[in-house]
Amino acid sequence: MSLSRSVLWQTALRSQLLQGAWNFDRMQNLGWAFCVAPALKELYPDEGRRALALRRHLEIFNTHPYMAGYVLGAALKVESELADGRGEAETVSAIKARLAPALAAVGDSFYWAALRPATVMLGIAWLWLAPHPWHLWAPAVFLAAYNLVALVLRMNAVEAGWTKGEGVAVHVASMGLPAAAEGVRQMALVLMGALAGSLGRLLNPLSNGKAPLVNHFLFLGSGLVMLLMLRLGVRPVVLLMLCTLGCLMLALSLAV
Strand, coil or helix: 211: coil
9-23, 135-149, 208-222, 236-250: range with lowest mean pLDDT:
208-222
What pLDDT, on a 0 to 100 scale, did the predictor assign at position 255? 55
Interval 153-159 mean pLDDT: 94
Q: What per-residue confidence (pLDDT) applies to 250?
A: 63
Taking the domains of the chain in order of start, what are their residue ranges?
A: 5-181, 200-254
pTM listed for this prediction: 0.78
For the chain, the average pLDDT equals 84
Q: CA distances (Å), 222 to each of 190, 197, 214, 225, 242, in order? A: 8, 5, 12, 5, 12
Length of the chain: 256
